[in-house]
Structure 1
Amino acid sequence: MILDDLPAWIAPAATMIAAIMTAANLGARVTGWSFVVFTLGSVCWSWVGIASGQTNLLASNGLLTIVNLVGIWRWLGRQRAYEDGGKSAADASRRSAHPTLFAGTQVDGMEVRDCEGNGVGQAVEALISCKDGLLSYIVVRSGGIGGMGEDLRAVPRAHVTFSCDHVTLRWDSTWFASLGTLQDGRWPVIPDVPAPAESDGS
Structure 2
Amino acid sequence: MSPVDVTTPRSGSEGGANIVGSGVGEGPGPEVMAASSLDDTKVITSDGEDVGKISEIMLDVRGGRIAYAVLSSGGFLGMGNTLHAIPWSALTLDTDEKCFRVDITAERIKSDPGFDKDHWPAMADAAWGSSLHEYYNRNPYWSATRDVSRAGDDL
TM (norm. structure 2) is 0.57
1:175 touches 1:196 (CA, 8 Å); kept in 2? no
Structure 1 pair 170–176 and aligned structure 2 pair: CA distance change class (3 A): same
- Give per-residue Cα distances to partners, 1:53-72, cap 9 Å, x unaligned: xxxxxxxxxxxxxxxxxxxx
- The equivalent residue for 1:151 is 82
- The equivalent residue for 1:34 is none
Matches within 5 A, 1:94-133: 100-133=31-64
SS class of match (2:85): strand
- The equivalent residue for 1:184 is 117
**Equivalent position amino acid for 2:58 in 1:** L
Distance across 1 between alignment mates of 2:32 and 2:74: 29
Bigger Rg, which one = 1
- The equivalent residue for 2:106 is 173
Report the number of matched residues: 104
- The equivalent residue for 1:162 is 93
1:89 paired to 2:27: yes
- Give per-residue Cα distances to partners, 1:180-202, cap 9 Å, x unaligned: 221333323144436369xxxxx
Q: Aligned-residue CA RMSD in angstroms?
A: 2.4
Unaligned runs of 5+ in 1: 1-86, 94-98, 198-202
**Equivalent position amino acid for 1:111 in 2:** K
Distance across 2 between alignment mates of 1:147 and 1:131: 31
> What fraction of aligned residue pairs are identical, expressed as a percent?
23
- The equivalent residue for 2:72 is 141
User: Higher helix share goes to which structure?
Assistant: 1
Matches within 5 A, 1:25-44: none
Structure 1 pair 152–195 and aligned structure 2 pair: CA distance change class (3 A): closer
Report the alpha carbon displacement of residue 112 of structure 1 after superposing the two structures with TM. Answer: 0.7
